[in-house]
Amino acid sequence: KNEVEQSPQNLTAQEGEFITINCSYSVGISALHWLQQHPGGGIVSLFMLSSGKKKHGRLIATINIQEKHSSLHITASHPRDSAVYICAVSNAGKSTFGDGTTLTVKP
């Protein structure tokens, strides 16, 4: 069992839909990251969380430290949101990554 589990593995949505991607982890962490990887490979760091909730535009990330769970929400999804979303947890300066969730938003 991976230390970081993401669900779903693949997600297809219609433009405008509200999207949730989940991340559960089984190790102690100091921070959790949500990354976005577009086709072609470039990775963008979306959020770094250690507690609570963060919002950036249409993206919202939450974390529950007690339950070892985080969610990434996308409101009013758009085809340009199509990408792989990766959850990573870090502790003592090293990160462990989930396998990613491939999101496809259709117009």
Partner 1 sequence: DGGITQSPKYLFRKEGQNVTLSCEQNLNHDAMYWYRQDPGQGLRLIYYSQIVNDFQKGDIAEGYSVSREKKESFPLTVTSAQKNPTAFYLCASSPWTSGKRTDTQYFGPGTRLTVL
Q: Which residues make up the interface to partner 1 (CB under 8 A)?
A: 2, 4, 29-31, 33, 35, 40-45, 48, 86, 88, 90-100
Which tokens go with 38?
A: 């577009």
Nearest to 5 by CA among 20, 21, 25: 25
Nearer to partner 1, 74 or 84 (CB): 84
Which tokens go with 78?
A: 């758009």
Report the nearest approach of partner 1 to the CB of residue 6 (Å).
9
Report the nearest approach of partner 1 to the CB of residue 98 (Å).
6
Nearest to 101 by CA among 36, 53, 28: 36
Nearer to partner 1, 19 or 29 (CB): 29
Which tokens go with 52?
A: 């609570």
Report the nearest approach of partner 1 to the CB of residue 101 (Å).
11
